[in-house]
Amino acid sequence: MNLYDCKILLVDDEKPLRDMVGSFLRGAGFHKVTMAADCLEAEELFALKEPHLVLLDVMLPDGDGFSLFKKLREFSEVPVIFLSARDEDQSRLRGLGLGADDYITKPFLPEELLLRVTAVLKRVYRVKGMQEKEVIALGRCTVDLGSGVATWNREAKDSTEMTLTAKEYAILQKLAQERGRIVTIDALCDAVWREENYGYENTLVVHIRRLREKIEEDPSHPKYLLTVRGLGYRLV
Amino acid sequence: MRKVKTERLTYNYRKAARFLRYGVLAFFGIAVLTCILNIVFLISAGVVYEKKEAWYIYGERVMEALTLTQNGYTLDGKMAEEFEKNDQWAMLLDENGRVIWSIRKPEELKEQYSGPEIARMSKWYLEGYPVQMRVWDDRIMIVGMQKETMWKYNIEFSIPWMEFVKQTILIFFLINFIWVAALAFIFTKRFMRNRECARIEWIAGISHDIRTPLSVVMGYADTLEHSEGLPGEARQQAAVIRHQSVVMKELIADLNLTSQLEYSMQALRKEKVRPAEVVRSVAASFLNDSLPGELKMDVQIEKDAELLCVNADRQLFARVFRNLINNSIKHGGKREPVEIKIALWEERGKCLIRLEDNGAGYSEEVLRRLRSRKKAASGGNIRGLEIVKKIILAHGGKIRFGNGEEGGGYCLIRLRQMKR
């Protein structure tokens, strides 16, 4: 399915905002955008259109977005992005966790909204354009994140393959996601060890060194996987 | 549980101080009011009493109006009229208890009274008639009223009891005073809380209402900015609108946060936070968003400080560093590149964080305003720093702003450590 064929239901009681977001989404290529002004209309349209994504305002004239969300969840797993105008909602949404896919605090820039909408749609429906970028080029070395294999083209014909360990793979994947940006030690530890990731900094250094041995030409003078002193690492 | 309570206490310190101030004011207010009320009461009681006195005739006046002539006693005509008017009566007894003169005396009463009878009526009633007695040389003047018109009672106290009352009366009044003060305090507190709640809700409501229209402004400005069909100048102007809307968005968020921090504690969602992690992630995000060579960050975290934890609201805690770094970048004196040094270490069980820049340092005015305890109407470049201060204080920490020896401004934060 094409990303832009996804049907989006926008629920907000403010007509100007509805028009603005609607026109922006259409402008961005989403041609199946439906709009509802309250819970009742939203439920009707939901049953009628079966949208792929719901953009839901928290404050609605006939109830709040949270309860509508729970209602929808009873029979549908549709991804929902909340639009919230109150700071207080943020914490509630964070705490909610049980399935709201994202939230945006008003006011927002259209790109921000578009970014989240596409991210959620890609994640949920695995639409095209997701798996293609899974090979990263680091000079003469290419790493296929699908298989976790680093391939070296030392000379034109001579190529060697090295398999990354699970931890090295996780580190490289995280760095590749944020390529060009600094990833802090903590974010890396979190990506590799998930919960309770304190005190792994030293182990991380060891894994980074091994990873460099596999992907860098000169591991003691890295060109791609750089250390940012005091903060973390960066993949350039 | 106990820990939570202590933290609440620390947080409530400033609030308590404010309440105390209002409490003391209310206390004095009520004290003054009580005094005034008492005086008014006494005066009016006196006036009423004065009027009441004229209501009935008492012995002295009768004695003054009574003259002894050859024909016996004669009462002044005016007085006699008054007796009539008041429906009172009087009689004069000689030393043997015999009635030698009377006016309007009820018929049922006797003509002579014995010692015991006189003793009895001196304290109580005479056959149900309330009477007043005055001894006039060797005679007794008795002025009476109709039945059921006067209440009489005798009181007497033992001397030790009166001594005791004399000694304790001060304490008794003090207790009363304290009780009144406590009551005043409680009412003030409730009043303050209601007012604060109303204010927070008002601000939250306003900021909520502004956000939706602002979204529309931002959205269309952004669309115009990127619309190919418009001339360059118009697109430039749209960019300015968008940028200014973002500034407004931040202002609203600041306003809301400030009011929440000032008046309520619900804004804090405390959890275990590692400052090392937060500092690094904020520093990294600033570096990521800056142009190369524009910003230099030197983050020094001691090995032991890596695992330090504090009990804090993660979002607000990150906000502290974002605001501080932002301030250094925007108001540091435009020295390129901006260099920011952040150090984190442990000292006597506290978590210390020092942030220093290479700018021109804080001006005297800014320092004075940051150090003052007053809730000054903040604005301009100081707002971000005041929010920093408020967040740290709300977390029960200490914060100091100052200028380093080499010129740059610094900020030192001291927070209580949380047990791992």
What ipTM was reported for this prediction? 0.73
Of B208, B212, B299, which is closest to A230 when you measure between CB atoms?
A: B299
Q: Does residue A61 belong to the interface with chain B, where contact is any CB pair within 8 Å?
A: no
| Contact criterion met (CB < 8 Å) for B284 and A184 | yes
A86 touches B204 (CB < 8 A): yes
Cα(B119)–Cα(B142) distance, integer angstroms: 12
- The candidate with the shortest Cα–Cα distance to A219, out of A228, A229, A231, A211, is A211
Which class for A217: exposed (0-12), middle (13-18), buried (19 or more C-beta within 10 A)? middle
Residue of B nearest to A90 (CA): B315
**pLDDT tens, residue by residue, A181-218:** 889 988 888 888 876 666 777 888 898 998 888 888 88
Name the minimum distance, in Å, from the CA of A154 to any CA of chain B: 32
Name the minimum distance, in Å, from the CA of A161 to any CA of chain B: 32
Using a CB-CB distance cutoff of 8 angstroms, which residues of chain B are in contact with residue A17?
212, 215-216, 219
pLDDT bucket at B282, cuts 50 / 70 / 90: very high
Q: Which of the two residues, A10 and B198, has the higher pLDDT score?
A: A10
- Pseudo-torsion of CA A187, A190, A193, A197, nearest 10°? 100
B322 φ/ψ sector (left φ>0, alpha ψ -120 to 50, else beta) = alpha
| Contact criterion met (CB < 8 Å) for A107 and B306 | no
Residue of B nearest to A104 (CA): B215
- The set of residues, in sequence order, having a beta carbon less than 8 Å from that of B69 and lying 6+ positions away, is none
Given a cut of 60, whether residue A133 has pLDDT beyond it is no
Determine how β-strand B72-75 pairs with β-strand B89-93. Answer: unpaired
A34 touches A45 (CB < 8 A): yes
| Contact criterion met (CB < 8 Å) for B284 and A20 | no
Given a cut of 50, whether residue B3 has pLDDT beyond it is no
Using a CB-CB distance cutoff of 8 angstroms, which residues of chain B are in contact with residue A107?
211-212, 214-215, 217-218, 245, 249
Chain B residues 296-355 within an 8 A CB cutoff of chain A: 297-301, 306-307, 315
Given a cut of 90, whether residue B417 has pLDDT beyond it is no
Name the minimum distance, in Å, from the CA of A200 to any CA of chain B: 11
Given a cut of 90, whether residue B413 has pLDDT beyond it is yes
B222 touches A111 (CB < 8 A): yes
3-state secondary structure of B128: coil
Token pair 């030698």 in the structure block, residue: B100
| Contact criterion met (CB < 8 Å) for B222 and A110 | yes
Determine how β-strand B350-357 pairs with β-strand B338-347. Answer: antiparallel
Residue B5 has what pLDDT? 46
Chain B residues 271-300 within an 8 A CB cutoff of chain A: 274, 276-277, 280-281, 283-284, 287-288, 297-300
Using a CB-CB distance cutoff of 8 angstroms, which residues of chain B are in contact with residue A227?
none
- At position B41, the amino acid (one-letter code) is F
Residue of B nearest to A86 (CA): B208
Cα(A79)–Cα(A71) distance, integer angstroms: 13
Residue B56 has what pLDDT? 73
Residue A98 has what pLDDT? 53
Total CB pairs under 8 A between chain A and B: 102
Arithmetic mean of pLDDT, B296-303? 86
Using a CB-CB distance cutoff of 8 angstroms, which residues of chain A are in contact with residue B197?
none
B258 touches B319 (CB < 8 A): no
* Strand ranges (E), chain A: 8-11, 33-36, 53-57, 59-60, 63-64, 80-84, 102-105, 135-138, 141-144, 149-153, 159-163, 182-184, 225-228, 232-235
**pLDDT tens, residue by residue, B126-176:** 888 988 888 888 888 898 888 888 888 878 889 999 999 888 888 988 998
Q: What residues form DSSP beta bridges with A234?
A: A182, A226
Given a cut of 80, whether residue B235 has pLDDT beyond it is yes
Given a cut of 70, whether residue B334 has pLDDT beyond it is no
Chain B interface mutation, best of A14, A58, A106, highest count of B Cβ atoms under 10 Å:
A106
Cα(B311)–Cα(B308) distance, integer angstroms: 10
Name the minimum distance, in Å, from the CA of A123 to any CA of chain B: 24
**pLDDT tens, residue by residue, B47-93:** 887 766 556 777 788 888 888 888 788 888 888 888 888 888 999 99
Using a CB-CB distance cutoff of 8 angstroms, which residues of chain A are in contact with residue B280?
184-186, 230-232
**pLDDT tens, residue by residue, A36-65:** 988 888 888 888 888 888 998 888 888 888
- The candidate with the shortest Cα–Cα distance to B304, out of A201, A206, A232, is A201
**pLDDT tens, residue by residue, A140-178:** 788 887 777 777 766 555 667 788 888 888 888 888 888
B218 touches A20 (CB < 8 A): no
Task: State residue B295 phi and psi, 5-degree precision.
Answer: -140, 135
A224 touches A214 (CB < 8 A): no
| Contact criterion met (CB < 8 Å) for A107 and B220 | no
Task: State residue A89 phi and psi, 5-degree precision.
Answer: -65, -30
Residue B2 has what pLDDT? 44
Token pair 């102007």 in the structure block, residue: B237
Chain A interface mutation, best of B206, B215, B315, highest count of A Cβ atoms under 10 Å:
B215
Q: What is the pTM of this model?
A: 0.65
- The set of residues, in sequence order, having a beta carbon less than 8 Å from that of B190 and lying 6+ positions away, is none
Crossing angle of helices A87-96/B232-263, nearest 10°?
Answer: 80
| Contact criterion met (CB < 8 Å) for A198 and B274 | yes
| Contact criterion met (CB < 8 Å) for B280 and A198 | no
- Angle, CA A170 vertex, CA A196 and CA A217 arms, to 5°: 130
| Contact criterion met (CB < 8 Å) for B217 and A14 | no
Share of chain B above pLDDT 70, in %: 90
Q: What is the mean pLDDT of chain A?
A: 81
